[in-house]
Amino acid sequence: MKKINIGIIICDRYSSCAGGKCLRSLRNRDGAFDRYKGSEVELVGYTTCGGCPGGNVEQATGEMVENGADVVHLATGLVVGYPPCPYIDHFKSFIEERYDLEVVVGTHPIPQNYYETHMEIGTWEGPGWENILRPTLADEKARRSYD
């Protein structure tokens, strides 16, 4: 079994986040980490984007690569914050092209309280959101466990 090394980039608005939901979902293989069920995974980097417009993304990803990253996850907070990060697509394409790494949008399942709010106000309507939400949407029971 090949070990998969991952890095996580979180939104700078949550710079004081201890990573509890991301790390729990990694350990339990929930949300966007369910893709690693049955695999050994090591976290090789965890940091913020550096604030809008993502001044730390290049440097942080470079360090993750030096530490052996195979995949970079853009944390769920980039999707559920209000407003959601306007640079998600840019970060994803930049990292994929610059570092030839797979980028997954999401970490832990979207908490139900965030899901309900964003659905009510229509934040995730429009093209592209279905693909962005897919890895972390989960079912209601899983979403509620991350409230």
Q: Are 109 and 144 in contact (CB under 8 A)?
A: no
Q: Are 10 and 77 in contact (CB under 8 A)?
A: yes
CATH of 4-145, one of 3.40.50, 3.30.1390, 3.30.720, 1.10.357: 3.40.50
Query: pTM higher than 0.85 for the full model?
Result: yes
Token pair listed for 58: 């290049």
Burial status of residue 102 (CB atoms within 10 A of its CB: 0-12, 13-18, 19 or more)? middle
Of all residues in the chain, the percent with pLDDT exceeding 70 is: 99
Q: pLDDT digits over 104-120, tens only?
A: 999 999 999 999 999 99
Confidence of residue 144 (pLDDT cuts 50, 70, 90): very high
CA distances from 9 to 14, 62, 93, 116, 144 (A): 11, 12, 14, 24, 23
